[in-house]
Amino acid sequence: MYNKIVVGVDENDHSFEAINAAVQLAKLTRDEIVVVHVQTLGMPSPGSAPAPMEDASEAQALIDKTVALFTSEGLTAHGQLQRSTVDKIADVLLSVADTEKAGLIVVGTRGHGDFHAALVGSTAHKVLHGASIPVLVHRDTRHG
């Protein structure tokens, strides 16, 4: 149906709920899954390069664990570890979706709303407004 589904993942609860929603959808559509985690880079001090804010092996372990979840359900999945500053995570997800020729992007959100997103900068909000393909935003309903 979508050909490929890009699923953005991180260590937050809302991400795990989005992953579960993507599993259920992919079981129906039998589309290939592309699990994407963006290793966040800290803002550099003048004259230095951005430094990762998380360990690369932990980031890769998250991808591997998520890919294994999809494959344990009989689905085809692979992962990508990308690197970017926090303000560009949505751009990275959109770029991967374009490169992979995906038909859907799945992300999670805490559901703080547009006002909070405008102040803080929600990745889900940015993906929604930047995507040229459908986006499934799974809201974390346990927190409000």
65-120 confidence digits (pLDDT tens): 999 999 999 999 999 999 998 889 999 999 999 999 999 999 998 654 544 444 34
Q: Per DSSP, what are the bridge partners of residue 40?
A: 84
- As given in the structure block, the two tokens for residue 119 are 């102040």
Q: Which CATH architecture has domain 11-41+51-143?
A: 3-Layer(aba) Sandwich (3.40)
For the chain, the domains span 11-41+51-143
Task: Of 15-29, 108-122, 127-141, give the lowest mean pLDDT range.
Answer: 108-122
Closest-CA residue to 72 (of 107, 23, 6): 23
Which band of pLDDT confidence, cut at 50, 70 and 90, is reported for residue 44? Answer: low
Yes or no: say if 42 and 70 are a contact pair by the CB < 8 Å rule.
no
Q: For residue 35, which of 73, 55, 49 has the smallest C-alpha distance?
A: 73
